[in-house]
Structure formats: structure tokens, C-alpha cells
Amino acid sequence: MPSPKRIGQIEFGLLSPKEIREMSVRKIIWADTYDDDGFPYPQGLMDLNLGVIDPGLRCKTCDQKASECPGHFGHIELAKPVIHVGYTRLIRKLLRVTCRSCGRVLLSPEEIEKVVGTEDDQTGDLLSEKDVKKERICPHCGDQQLKINFEKPTTFSEVVVEEGKKVEHKLTPADIRARMEKIPDEDLIPLGIKRPDVARPEWTILTVLPVPPVTMRPSIILENGQRSEDDLTHKLVDIIRINQRFKENQDAGAPQLIIEDLWELLQYHVTTYMDNEVAGCPPARHRSGRPLKTLSQRLKGKDGRFRGSLSGKRVNFSSRTVISPDPNLSVRQVGVPRAVANEMTIPVRVTIHNIEELKQIARNGPVRPDVNAPCGANYVIRPDARRLRLAEGNLDTVADMIEPGWTVERHLRDGDVVLFNRQPSLHRMSIMAHRVKVMEGKTFRLNPAVCPPYNADFDGDEMNMHVPQTEEARAEATILISVQENILSPRFGGPIIGGIHDHVSGIFMLTHDTRWFKKEEALYLLRYTRIERMPAPGKVEEGIEYWSNKQVFSVILPEHLNMVFQASSCQNCDVCKKELCERDAYVRIFDGILESGTIDKKAIGAFDGQIVNRIIRQEGMSRATDFIDDMTKLSIRAIMFDGFSFGIDDEDLSRTEYGQIEEVLKNASLDVDRRIKIYEDGQLEPMPGRTVEETLEMQIMQVLGKARDLTGEIAGRHLGLGNSAVLMAVSGARGSMLNLTQMAGCIGQQSVRGERIVRGYDDRTLPHFRKGERGSDAHGFIQHSYKGGLNPTEFFFHAIGGREGLVDTAVRTSQSGYLQRRLINALQDLKVAYDGTVRTTGGRIIQFEYGEDGTDPTKSAFGDPVDVKGIVESILKEAA
Amino acid sequence: MSTKLNVLKHDMVPDHEIMSEEEVSALLTTYNITTEQLPKVFHDDPAVKVIGAEADDVIRIIRVSHTAGRAESFRLVVKRPKK
């Protein structure tokens, strides 16, 4: 093994023909690869000097075996020079800025200094094509310059004026190379070639082509014993064939036309060998029609060498499967399928203290028959690092050999710490540490309350699990990234974990207004919570004990909690009626007892969760996690107590409402027509800064918007809290009153870019309308509801409006994703130093005080160091 | 009367001022840094031009902050490198 070396400097330059020949171990002249016996041809593309890929053979250059030989370059002598596609830009620039006869830059030293700056102040620009006027006269030799045309991918030509006509003269790569050779070294420096000794411009025109070692283009042997060559080898075969033919024709003195054709063909093959996706060049294809993957394609893009192979990382001790919900788990836990738990292991060092336990684990073997069985192990590791596989036959023998100093790789078992992750990992809560719970089934199970931080749902989402292998890793996982420590989001300082969907609906149904439960009912609701005893019954009637719904909820609250706030269902009345609120939206908790108000999204929901927030501040993370666990269990029981469903007939209204809705829509339509009439009569007064048309459009939109809202109100009057959709909208569980309006009342105006739909045929949206018609239905107003059904024109307009939404989300996600990526790349590795400054790893200051106020949002009360409102509420037990 | 725009008078532009040598050395000691570790601002920045700061000067920028009410920040003026 060579000793590691420190890199002193890196030199960037072009490979000169001399260097290519020097590093070459073999000149390649035959296009064939293997002979009939499967042995490589000497001087063929698979020459044994270029390295070996077949086991058993030895490299002729370094005499090493296939696994050790790194491979060696060969070379092909090209019959005529060809252009390297990667440098066409540079070639074009050099042709345009240098003289065609003397090779000097077409500028006087004074002109150069103007752009580049003086000798000692080299901070100026580089010379560019724009600095040289076209077709000027060389200031050095006085030669008239010609215009250089460049045609993609690799054709250069000079424009000569002959008899008043412009004629293009093609420049061959040999001509170009001759011109490049003439450019003196000093003139290259202001052009941006700072080290002409390592990057002479004529080296961009290839006269000799390096042949990469076989190790970077290995052939694979198919199942039927046939050899299949790498794409690069195919391309090199093409190049050698044409090169050979070119040489033969040249020696035989073939006509100029044929030579030119062959030259162009050779250029094409070398071009596609470098980059098979150049503009203006048909990609070279495999026999099957698939475009070949050549040099540039290996490097470029997401799966290329850089992003795919070098910065790409994969890990062991990880697993991935579909997720599904289980409200009976704690948010701290994750349900792991037995099959996964039997495969993923944790190494445990054997000591005198745990030897008996680990021997038993080894005896349990590699198969755990059911989730309740104790965990087993797959391997044991001896002190000499030998791994012994545990299998059915050797369990006892291996177990008896175990001594302190050995390591047992035991299976996962309940209570182990694992990391759980869902992509895209956009914030730190995308990876959290959970406790394992081994379960039957094939999916990872998680409490639906932890969906928001992962942004997960159960429509087929998959998640990853990682098993920390060391004590340190497990300690860090538990202390820093466990679910419990991540309830508060650093984004807004509030709880990101909390009730969603059914939790909110359920807890709303439970706590709304006043209900009384008998003992068995109350116990049914509280069965899965951690309650230890029931409070005294709220009332006793005819010898039967009753507990109120608010008492049932209060059981899971911490004892000394005092809070006052408005629920989601609060309508923000001018004068709050407090406890007497008819919506029961005034929440008041006194010494851990819910006195009044309905618990809903504001109280326990993810992103809002006022109660959760207060418990964290006053009782700590652990108590808050327990509260969330109890809350999810209680709410699911509560929603099951009455049952909760939504069907098509929940959108039905009565005859009266339908009549009213029709009336409203008819009036709106008439109003629109009336305004159009005013406009057509020229009587419409434009609003400031708007044209008359814009004013009319705004008025129409306003009238129709109002009409839609009115239908919603009419529908809302009929549908009360008994309606599931209303309940979900009011409690904040899902959906809004607008959704309900559109289902039962009227869908309303469809818009594209905030305006009514105007595009389509000449002066009309559809042939169903008269030209120039401005009425509501001709421009995308849908007066039906989803329940009632749309007519064909309405359906079409709806599709137009819906499409805009889809396009918007598609564009937005990709753009914001890229913005986020750039931001994260710029901010990664920053840290808050002990003096409160935000610094880079180099100690450079980014912010003089973290967030300008030096405050951690998760440890402050909305920016204030002290939560005054919370303290006042808990001491006065009154609203602050 | 010059019609030139003074960016510092714009509502959205925070106050900029050149720091004296003593202030700079005090700043560098408090944060235990060299001037190189300060954030930079180019010499041709409109606000820098108005206060007449030159390369190697350190300027103090006083902003109205959402979080802290008033926030001070310091920048080292550097020459804009030409490409």
C-alpha cells in the first residue's frame, strides 16, 4: 500500500498530445475486442495492457490481478485532427479575437489595458468577443479580418466577400489548429488562459485520442454466455473503424469530397463519444435504439458521477416500508413489523453482568415466532472479529461458547430507540427518535398525531427506520431528537404535534355543550387513558351516578392547569358573552377542570394546541406527551361513542332553501345583466385607476361572489351542528364552510389568474354563447352545487379553473423546493457560538445576535422571555 | 441643488454610519475576531457611497427589527472584485 499523500496544489489545464502519448501504455489500432477463443486482441480495445477485468488474467502493464489493477490508458492516433466539443465556445472566441495571419489579439496594448486594467491592478475584466469589432484590421500586421461563423455543434467557417456576394469558407479542424498554434503565450493571458504552458489552445483540437482503461468500461457476460460491451467501447469501436477507413482512403489518394465526408464522420463519432446530448447533433444510438451513455452523460445530472456516486450516500441498519395509523400507540412509539425486527440488529457487548441474558438471546436464535416472544440474535462476534452465524442447528453450541468480550447482535425488541424519517426531510422534525413496538403485519405503525411533523398520510406513504448502533448514538437520539423533545416547532414556537381530523371532531363532540354519562359510559371513554381514579360524580339522579362530558375531559388535564381562551368555533362577537356563549366557545379551565367551552383545534390541534403549549411550559415535555397520548385515545373513543359519518344526503337541503338559493342566484344574474346594460349604454363610471371594462369585471365578480356566499349562508341555516361537515368545519377538524357552500349551495365563479374565464373562441368562451356576451354563465359562473350537478358548459369551466390549480401547485412545489435547497446549502454548518453570535465554521460572523434578539422560539413565549399571560392566568385563575 | 437620490432617506433603508478606529477595535475585542471575520459590504454599495465609507472601513448598520426592535450589525467595506 502506498502511503497517503497530502495534496499540495491542483493544476487545471488541457491534456497535450505529448502527455496523452506519454500516459498511454499501448497504441490501439484494431476495432475488434476479443478473438474467437474469448481472448483480447493485442492492440485491440480490450488489450491486456489497458488493465484486466476477467478474473484469472494478469495485467500486462502492472502484472496485477483484476481486483488490484487500476487500469491504464491507451491512445488512438487520429488520421486528421478533430475538434473537442467541450471547447467549441473557447475556439470560437479565440478565432474571433485573434488575427487570421499573425495570431495576435486584434487589439492594441492600450485597448487591452482599458478592459483588463494595469499590470499591478489585475482586477479588471477578461477580454471577450464583444471587445473586438467584427471584420476589423489587425493592429499588428494590418491584415483584413473575416467574420467567423459558428454552426453547432462543431462547424466553423469564414465569410469571404467575393464579387459582392458573401461566401462561406469552411475551416477544417487542421486550419483552426494552425491558427491556434500561432497565438503567442502572452496574448492568451488577457483572454483568461492564465497558464498557457499547461493549456495551449491548439490542444483543444485533438490529434490523438486517449483510450480509457477497460476497468472503466467493463464488458458484461450475459446469461447466454455472450459478451455485451459497454457503451464507451461501442463508441470507441466506431471511432477506430472510421479512423482506419480514413487513413486507407487518405493513403490511396481518395478524392477531396470523400476525405471531407470521412473527416466529418470522424468528427461526429468523437463528438458523440464526448457528449451524446449536444445541440444540433443527432445522438448516437445503440442497436436497440437507446441513446448511448457516453462520457458526459456519465458525469452529468442527478444519477451522474458527482451527484449520484460521489455525494450520494447509503446506509446500513435501515429499513423502509409503508406506514399505517394506530391510535393505540403512544406518539413516542413506532410499530415495527416482526419481519423487520428480526432482521435489524443491535450489537451488545458481553460482560459478566449480562452474559446469561445474552446467552439466552443467542439460544433464541434467528427466528422470533411471534411478537410476544423474547428477541433472538442473528450473529455473535468473537473477540477476534470472526462472525458466527446463528442457525437452527448450532444455537446451543454457540451460546455455550459465549464469554465476556464477545458481541451478540440481537434483534430489535420493544423499547429500543430507532430513528424514523419521511422524505422530503425539510425540517429537523422530519427525523425523530421513537421507541420500538414489535407488531404483526407488514407496515410501520404510528400514532396519527405525529403525522404533521412528518407531513405523512396513509395513502401509501413509506417511511424509513434507522437503528443507532452505539450507546452514544442512542443517548443522543433519546435526549435530542425523541418525539417528546420535538413537540414544539422552532418555526413558530408552538406545538406541531397534536390532534388531527378525527381527534378534533371527537373531542369536539365530547366536550360540546353539556352531556351526562353513566359510569360505564364514562369508563368506556376513558378506558385507554392513563387515569388512576375517577373524580366524584357530577350529579346523582335516582341513585345513578353521572359524570358530565367536561368532567370526562378534565380527567386527562394536569391538576393545576388554569387557562382562558376562545375556541376555534368563536365568532369574535363584539361583546363576548363569556361563559354564556351560545356556541360554547369560551374555554375556561380552572384548577385542571374544564368549566366551560368546547375543546377543538385551537385547544389540542397540531399547529395550534393551546392546552398542549401551556402544559409544555408549565409541566414539561413529558407531561405534554402523556396528555397528547391520552387525548388521542379519549377522542377516538369519543368519536366512536356516537359514531361519525358523512354521506351524500348530508348535503341535502329542504325545498325552502332551494327556493331561496334559486332566488338569490336569479337576482345576482339580473344584477349582472343590469350592470352590463349600464356599461353598454356608456353610463358606467370607472373606478379610480381602472378602465371601464375593468370596473365592470370587478363589479360582476363582486356581485357573483356575494351571491355565492349568500347561498352558503342559506345552506348553513339549514345544516346545523348535527351535520358532520358543519361539525368538522366548525371544530377545525377538516374543511371549511366554503367547501360546504360549494357542495350544497353553489360552486361560484371559476377563475383563471383571478379573472373570469375569457379565453376560447373568437369573442366567446364556447360556441354555446353569443359573441361578445358578458353575462355570468358565459364566463364561468357555476350556479349549481356539486350535489346538484353541473351542466356541460359549467363542467367545462370547472375543468379550466381546476387545471390552473393543478399547474400552480406543480410549479410552486418544484420552485420552492429548489429555493429551499439553495437556502439550506448556504446556511448549513452555521452554529450559534457561546457569545450568541451565529458563525460559520471558519468563525466568520453571520448574525451578531441569533435572530437579532438571541431568542430560541421554542423556549420563549412568542418572543417574550416570560409568558406573562400564562403566569397571570395560573395565579389569578382568571383571564389575563 | 442636486437631484441625486439619497438612499439613506428612504424608509426601508436602515441607518449606516462609519465607525471610529476605537469603536472598531472595541468591536473586534468583544467578539474576539479579526476584521476578515466580519460580514462584508462592497465599496460601491449605494448606502456605503452616501456615507462616504471606503475600503477597510467598518460601518455600523442600525435596523428596525421584527424580533428585537432595534438591531445593530457591523460590516467591513471591501472593494468589489472585478470578475
pLDDT, tens digit, 9 for 90 and up, residues A718-753: 888 889 999 999 999 998 889 988 998 899 999 888
In this predicted structure, the answer to whether residue B79 has a pLDDT above a threshold of 70 is yes
Q: Find the CB nearest B67 among A123, A842, A851.
A: A851
Domain shared by A468 and A323, yes or no: yes
Q: Is residue A824 part of a domain?
A: no
Find the CATH number of the domain harbouring A683.
1.10.132.30
Is the pLDDT at A349 greater than 60? The verdict is yes
**At residue A768, what is the residue type?**
H
Question: What pLDDT does residue B2 have?
Answer: 66
Whether B55 has its CB under 8 Å from any CB of chain A: the answer is no
- CA dist A306 and A319 (Å) reads 25
Residues A336 and A466 in one domain: yes
What are A222-270's pLDDT values in tens digits?
Answer: 888 777 888 888 889 989 999 988 888 888 887 888 888 888 889 999 9
First to last CA, chain A: 74
Average pLDDT over residues A139-148: 81
pLDDT of residue A118: 67
C-alpha cell at A237: 469501436
- A476 lies in the same domain as A586: no
- The CATH class given to the B12-78 domain equals alpha beta
Position A350 in a domain: yes
Among residues A607, A642, A677, which one ends one of the domains?
A642
| Contact between chains at A845 and B31 (C-beta distance less than 8 A) | yes
Q: Is the model more confident about A34 or about A341?
A: A341
Contacts of A843 in chain B (CB under 8 A): 33, 37
Amino acid A37: pLDDT: 77
Q: What is the mean pLDDT of residues A804-827?
A: 88
User: Of A124-128, A279-283, A364-368, A874-878, which one has max mean pLDDT?
Assistant: A364-368
Q: Do B68 and A852 count as a contact with CB atoms less than 8 A apart?
A: yes
B83 touching chain A per CB within 8 A: yes
Tens digits of residue pLDDT in A568-585: 888 888 888 888 888 888
Asked whether the predicted pLDDT for residue A844 surpasses 80, the reply is: yes
pLDDT mean over A159-173: 82
SS3 percent helix, strand, coil of chain A, rounded to 5, is: 40, 20, 45
Query: What integer is the mean pLDDT of A514-533?
Result: 92
Query: What letter does residue A374 receive in the DSSP assignment?
Result: P
Whether residues A849 and B71 touch (CB distance < 8 A) is answered with yes
Contacts of A319 (CB under 8 A, 6+ apart): A340, A343, A344, A464, A465
Q: Does an H or E element contain A702, and which?
A: helix A692-718
Q: How far is CA A383 from the centre of its chain?
A: 44
Q: Which of A627, A642, A657 is the last residue of a domain?
A: A642
pLDDT at A274 over 70: yes
**Claim to verify: residue A368 and residue A468 sit in the same structural domain:** yes
Shared domain for A717 and A636, answered yes or no, is no
Task: State the pLDDT at residue A120.
Answer: 62
For chain B, positions 1-30, list CB contacts with chain A under 8 A: none
Count A/B contacts: CB-CB distance under 8 Å: 48
B68–chain A Cβ distance below 8 A for any pair: yes
- Of chain A, the percentage scoring pLDDT greater than 90 comes to 44
ipTM higher than 0.90? Answer: yes
Residues of A in contact with B66 (CB under 8 A): 852
Q: How confident is the model at residue A800 (pLDDT cuts 50, 70, 90)?
A: very high
pLDDT at B1 over 60: no
Confidence of residue A461 (pLDDT cuts 50, 70, 90): very high
Q: What pLDDT score was predicted for residue B82?
A: 63
* Range A498-502 average pLDDT: 92
For chain A, the maximum distance between any two Cα atoms, rounded to a whole number of angstroms, is 121
Number of CB atoms found within 10 A of residue A256's CB: 7
| pLDDT for res A578 | 81
Per-residue confidence (pLDDT) for residue A122, from 0 to 100? 57
Q: How confident is the model at residue A119 (pLDDT cuts 50, 70, 90)?
A: low
Confidence band of A60 (pLDDT split at 50, 70, 90): confident
Whether the Cβ atoms of residue A246 and residue A266 lie closer than 8 Å to each other: yes
pLDDT of residue A52: 83
Contacts of A671 by beta carbon, 8 Å cutoff, 6+ apart: A703
In a domain, A265, yes or no: no
Confidence of residue A860 (pLDDT cuts 50, 70, 90): confident
Using an 8 Å CB-CB cutoff, list chain A residues near B37: 839, 842-845
User: Which domain range does residue A195 map to?
Assistant: 84-199
Of residues A229 and A465, more confidence is placed in: A465
Q: Do A848 and B31 touch (CB under 8 A)?
A: yes
Mean pLDDT of A79-98: 89
- Give the DSSP letter string of A124-153: SPPP-GGGS-TT-B-TTT-PBP-EEEEETT
Residues A414 and A522 occupy one common structural domain: no
CATH number at residue A530: 1.10.274.100
CA distance A190 to chain B (A): 12
Q: Are residues A594 and A705 in the same domain?
A: no
The answer to the question of residue A399 being in a domain is yes
Cβ B33–A123 below 8 Å, yes or no?
A: no
- Domains in chain A: how many in total? 5
pLDDT at A438: 95
Residue A135, pLDDT > 70, answer no
CB spacing of B67 vs A855 below 8 angstroms: yes
Q: A866 vs A538, which has greater pLDDT?
A: A538
For the entire predicted model, the pTM comes to 0.78
Asked whether residue A788 carries a pLDDT value surpassing 60, the answer given is yes
**Helix ranges, A735-867 (H):** 737-740, 792-827
Asked if residue A442 and residue A349 are part of one domain, the reply reads yes
Are residue A636 and residue A722 in the same domain, yes or no?
Answer: no
Of A137-151, A493-507, B63-77, where does the model show the most confidence?
A: A493-507
- Average pLDDT estimate for A35-57: 81
Task: pLDDT band for A878, please (50, 70, 90 cuts).
Answer: confident
- A638 with A657, same domain? no
CB-CB: which of A124, A848, A849 is closest to B82? Answer: A124
